[in-house]
Structure 1
Amino acid sequence: MSMHVEHNQTDSRQMAASGLRVAMNIMERWGATREQMGKILRVSASTLARSKAENGSAAKLDDDQLDRISHVLNIHAALRTLFENPANLYGFVAMPNQNGFFNGRSPLEVMSDGSFASLYETHRHIDGLRGAQW
Structure 2
Amino acid sequence: MNLAFAYPRSRFEPAVFVDLNDKSERERLSKSALKGFFKLAEAWKLRDEDARELLGGLSSSAFYEWKKNPDRLLEVDRITRISYLIGIYKALHIIYGKKLADEWVTLPNKNVIFAGRTPLAYMQAGGLIAMQTVRKLLDARRGGL
Question: Normalised by the shorter chain, which TM-score bucket?
Answer: 0.7 to 0.9
- 2:67 paired residue among 48, 52, 61: 52
Q: Could you tell me how far apart the structure 2 residues matched to 1:69 and 1:23 are? A: 6
Give yes or no for contact 2:30–2:72 (8 Å, CA) kept in 1.
no
Runs of 4 or more, structure 1, over 6 Å off, are none
Q: Could you tell me how far apart the structure 1 residues matched to 2:71 and 2:118 are? A: 28
TM-score computed with the length of structure 2 as normaliser: 0.73
Q: Tell me the residue number matched to 1:82.
A: 95
Segment of structure 1 superposing worse, 23-32 or 90-99: 23-32
* Structure with bigger RCO (C-alpha 8 Å, 6+ apart): 1
Quote the sequence identity (%): 25
Question: How many residues of Structure 1 are paired with residues of Structure 2 in the alignment?
Answer: 123
Aligned residue for 1:129, secondary structure, equals helix
What is the identity, as a one-letter code, of the residue corresponding to 1:46? S
TM-score computed with the length of structure 1 as normaliser: 0.78
Q: Could you tell me how far apart the structure 1 residues matched to 2:70 and 2:43 are? A: 21
Offset of residue 75 of structure 1: 0.3
Q: Could you tell me how far apart the structure 2 residues matched to 1:79 and 1:100 are? A: 18
Give yes or no for contact 1:94–1:108 (8 Å, CA) kept in 2.
yes
User: Which structure's residues are more often helix, by fraction?
Assistant: 1
Q: Could you tell me how far apart the structure 2 residues matched to 1:44 and 1:110 are? A: 20
What is the identity, as a one-letter code, of the residue corresponding to 2:109? N
Alpha-carbon RMSD: 2.3
Is 1:116 the counterpart of 2:121? The answer is: no
Q: Could you tell me how far apart the structure 1 residues matched to 2:38 and 2:86 are? A: 10
Offset of residue 57 of structure 1: 2.8
Offset of residue 15 of structure 1: 2.9
What is the identity, as a one-letter code, of the residue corresponding to 1:48? F
What is the identity, as a one-letter code, of the residue corresponding to 1:69? I
Deviations 1:20-49 (A, max 9, x none): 121122122212211111111113333321
Aligned residue for 1:112, secondary structure, equals helix
Offset of residue 65 of structure 1: 0.8
Unpaired runs of 5+ residues, structure 1, are: 1-7
Aligned residue for 2:125, secondary structure, equals coil
